[in-house]
């Protein structure tokens, strides 16, 4: 996509904000019928917190992916590929199995943050050669950490196998979904998105400069190593506070920043808000789809995002085979 | 240029890579108004010396002063407004336009909350004009040729308005025409009052235009002075292991700036 075909940021934001608002309204009101006390309670106590998690979580994952792609200088980096999300899931699963969630609502998010930060740090330490992250080394380190964290998570889940309620709870959470949201979970997701997302938005220009090499960043007055540590930690925070409440939502953090970059270009002052908005829109839409698919089984949100994300990934691969740079 | 003219001085700089001594006491000065070629064999430590002068790599011994003050005492952004850098590889994984890459040169001038001001836009336009990049400034850099990319990188350094410029192998992968254009530009920048230090192999192309040549050999500055004086038969034999007939053989007359 050339510069001439980039959308004007204002147009993009306006159209996408309007589309998100429509999707949100449908999300709240679909199939309600007559307004009475019951439907009021459904909207206020179930659908509204669920919508808030979808909006904040989608925005958080879009931001996290965009930040990771710039800090790793690699358009394939994302919370799923690097293993950040798997680390968050491992931490969260441990906290759920240890029944810490019953003690304090913040236990799962904090455990997720620790898991996400640890795995990201490992990948960062192993995949980089002098702060250069080739697609190959990043993917290999990511596969290793995703597999390891996944295996440990499975092990943690098997610890609860004799307790059917507990294990099904963890498994359903891991599959990714926005059901069983309440206002405390919604608040945690929203506060996480703001606490970790706003500093990221304020550092948009640092993300631009980081895309150059470290010496160039240094020559422009930016200490790349320190900036990268902070920015990755914000991305971990965004991923963890989302995963803690939604479980695994595959591909969103990879695909959304990609798509946003194609539409508005790579400058982060524009890209970050665009990725956040697009992430919110996609997650609201995906949740709407998985609640209203004409099937009798409970389709998990992680399944829907995978159905959207995997073909996009294959499309990228095909473009790459045609000799185009992975963008 | 708004910044006051300052000098960059390396004083007895030593750098060790493990057991290997890369730099063994380098003294070198770069002052505004001069175009200096830093030459030497592969692995002589030219890039390392540039990074030490830039400050992104610490010297193990000796020191670097900018405007008389130790380089590492400078605030990062204030230093960035004095010393600009053009790296050897300028790969960019995303489809930024040339103008967007050049705009990053304004980073040391802008606070975190400051939008792009008229002064920033003027500096970006001037930098693009100086390298004659107006024609492709709005194309994604992934579609640019090696020469165009290099000009964008130089323009980014110019956009900082720093009086001192360090360039690492700026002619690598450039065809003869673009290489000569860039050499002439660097010479003009020197004449216009900037200090330009170029680490490069292309003696034939750069030396005739340079005010000074510094030869880096066995971790030290073997010779430093005007091209005619430094590139004599003895020095060229010692530093490059090549027998040169007359020094004139190194200066194709057609390319001489005057």
A64: its two tokens: 């996290």
Q: What is the ipTM of this complex?
A: 0.89
For residues B194 and A233, give the distance between their C-alpha atoms in angstroms, rounded to a whole number: 40
CA dist A225 and A210 (Å) reads 9
Q: Which token pair is A191?
A: 């506060």
Please give the pLDDT value at position A324: 55
Pairing of strands B69-70, B83-86: unpaired
Interface test with A, best of B3, B17, B46, B56 (most A CBs within 10 A): B56
Residue written as token pair 């953090």 = A253
Q: Are strands B195-199 and B20-30 parallel, antiparallel or unpaired?
A: unpaired
Return the half-sphere exposure (C-beta side, CA atoms, 13 A cut-off) of residue B42.
Answer: 0
Q: Which of A80-84, A289-293, B49-53, B250-254 has the lowest mean pLDDT?
A: B250-254
pLDDT of residue B242: 82
- The residue with greater pLDDT, A171 or B69, is B69
Tokens of A322: 């045609």
Cβ pair B56:A219 closer than 8 A: yes
Chain segment A257-303, per-residue pLDDT in tens = 999 998 999 999 999 999 999 999 999 999 998 888 777 677 788 88
Q: Which residues of B touch A (CB under 8 A)?
A: 51, 54-56, 76-81, 83-85, 87, 89, 92-97, 100-101, 104-105, 107-108, 110, 112-113, 138-140, 142-143, 156-157, 160, 166
- Please indicate whether, in this complex, the C-beta atoms of B104 and A74 are within 8 angstroms of each other: no
* More confident position, B190 or A129: B190
pLDDT for position A3: 44
Q: Which residue of A has its CA nearest to B75?
A: A221
For residue A310, the Cα-to-chain-centroid distance in whole angstroms is: 15
Q: Give, in order, the Cα–Cα distances in Å from A101 to each of A49, A96, A183, A236, B166.
A: 18, 6, 15, 20, 56
Task: Report the residue count for chain A.
Answer: 327
Shortest Cα distance, chain B CAs vs residue A53, angstroms? 29
pLDDT digits (tens, 9 = 90+) for A40-86: 888 888 889 999 999 999 999 999 999 999 988 888 889 988 899 99
Average pLDDT, chain A: 87
pLDDT of B1 reads 45
Q: Report whether pLDDT(A307) > 70.
A: yes
Reading the block at residue B258, the tokens are 């005057």
CA-CA distances (angstroms) from residue B129 to A101, B1, B125, B133, B203? 61, 16, 6, 6, 27
**Distance from A170 to chain B by nearest Cα, in Å?**
39
pLDDT of residue B68: 93
Tens-digit pLDDT profile for residues B125-146: 999 998 888 889 999 988 888 8
Q: pLDDT digit string (tens) for A178-196?
A: 877 789 889 999 999 999 9
Question: Would an 8 Å CB–CB cutoff place A225 in contact with chain B?
Answer: no
| Residue A42 per-residue DSSP state | I
Average pLDDT (B9-25) is 93
Take residue A277 and report the two structure tokens written for it: 């908005």
Length of chain B: 258
Record: contact A221-B76, CB cut-off 8 A: yes
User: Which residue among A208, A218, A265 places its CB closest to the CB of B104?
Assistant: A208
Q: Residues of B with CB below 8 A from A209's CB?
A: 104, 107
């Amino acid at each position: 996509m050339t510069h001439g075909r980039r959308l004007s940021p204002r147009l993009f934001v306006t159209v996408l904000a309007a589309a998100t608002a429509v999707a949100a309204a449908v999300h709240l009101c679909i199939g309600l019928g007559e307004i009475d006390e019951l439907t009021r309670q459904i909207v206020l106590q179930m659908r509204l917190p669920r919508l808030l998690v979808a909006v904040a979580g989608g925005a958080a994952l879009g931001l996290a992916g965009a930040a990771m792609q710039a800090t790793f200088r690699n358009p394939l980096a994302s919370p799923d590929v690097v293993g950040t999300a798997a680390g968050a899931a491992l931490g969260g699963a441990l906290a759920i199995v240890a029944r810490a969630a019953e003690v304090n609502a913040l236990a799962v998010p904090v455990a997720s943050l620790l898991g996400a930060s640890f795995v990201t740090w490992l990948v960062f330490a192993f995949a980089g050669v002098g702060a250069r992250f080739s697609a190959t080394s990043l993917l290999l380190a990511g596969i290793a950490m995703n597999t390891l964290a996944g295996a440990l998570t499975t092990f943690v889940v098997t610890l609860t196998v004799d307790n059917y309620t507990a294990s099904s709870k963890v498994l359903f959470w891991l599959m990714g979904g926005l059901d069983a949201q309440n206002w405390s979970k919604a608040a945690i997701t929203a506060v996480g998105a703001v606490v970790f997302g706003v500093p990221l938005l304020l550092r948009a220009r640092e993300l631009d400069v980081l895309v150059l090499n470290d010496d160039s960043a240094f020559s422009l007055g930016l200490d790349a190593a320190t900036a990268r540590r902070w920015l990755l930690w914000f991305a971990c925070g965004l991923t963890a506070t989302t995963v803690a409440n939604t479980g695994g939502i595959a591909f969103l953090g990879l695909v959304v920043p990609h798509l946003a970059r194609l539409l508005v270009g790579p400058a982060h002052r524009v890209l970050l808000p665009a990725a956040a908005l697009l992430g919110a829109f996609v997650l609201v839409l995906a949740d709407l789809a998985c609640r209203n698919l004409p099937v009798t089984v409970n389709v998990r949100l992680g399944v829907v995002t995978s159905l959207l994300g995997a073909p996009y990934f294959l499309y990228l691969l095909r473009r790459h085979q045609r000799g185009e740079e992975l963008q | 240029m708004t910044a006051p003219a300052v000098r960059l001085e390396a004083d007895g700089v030593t750098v060790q890579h493990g057991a290997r001594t890369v730099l063994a006491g380098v003294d070198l000065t770069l002052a505004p108004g001069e175009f200096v070629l830093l030459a030497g064999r592969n692995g002589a430590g030219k890039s390392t010396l540039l990074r030490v002068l830039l400050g992104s790599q610490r010297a193990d011994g000796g020191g670097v002063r900018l405007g008389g003050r130790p380089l590492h005492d400078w605030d990062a952004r204030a230093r960035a407004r004095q010393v600009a850098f053009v790296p050897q590889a300028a790969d960019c994984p995303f489809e930024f336009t040339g103008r967007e890459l050049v705009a990053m040169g304004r980073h040391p001038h802008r606070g975190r909350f400051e939008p792009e001001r008229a002064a920033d836009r003027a500096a970006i336009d001037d930098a693009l004009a100086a390298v004659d990049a107006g024609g492709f400034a709005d194309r994604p850099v992934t579609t640019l040729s090696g020469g165009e990319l290099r000009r964008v990188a130089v323009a980014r350094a110019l956009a900082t308005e720093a009086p001192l410029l360090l360039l690492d192998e700026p002619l690598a992968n450039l065809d003869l025409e673009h290489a000569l254009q860039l050499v002439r530009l660097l010479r003009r920048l020197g004449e216009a009052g900037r200090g330009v230090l170029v680490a490069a192999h292309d003696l034939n192309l750069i030396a005739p235009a340079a005010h000074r040549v510094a030869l880096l050999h066995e971790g030290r500055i073997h010779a430093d002075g005007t091209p005619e004086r430094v590139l004599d038969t003895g020095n060229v034999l010692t530093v490059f292991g090549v027998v040169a007939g007359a020094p004139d053989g190194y200066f194709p007359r057609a390319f001489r700036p005057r």
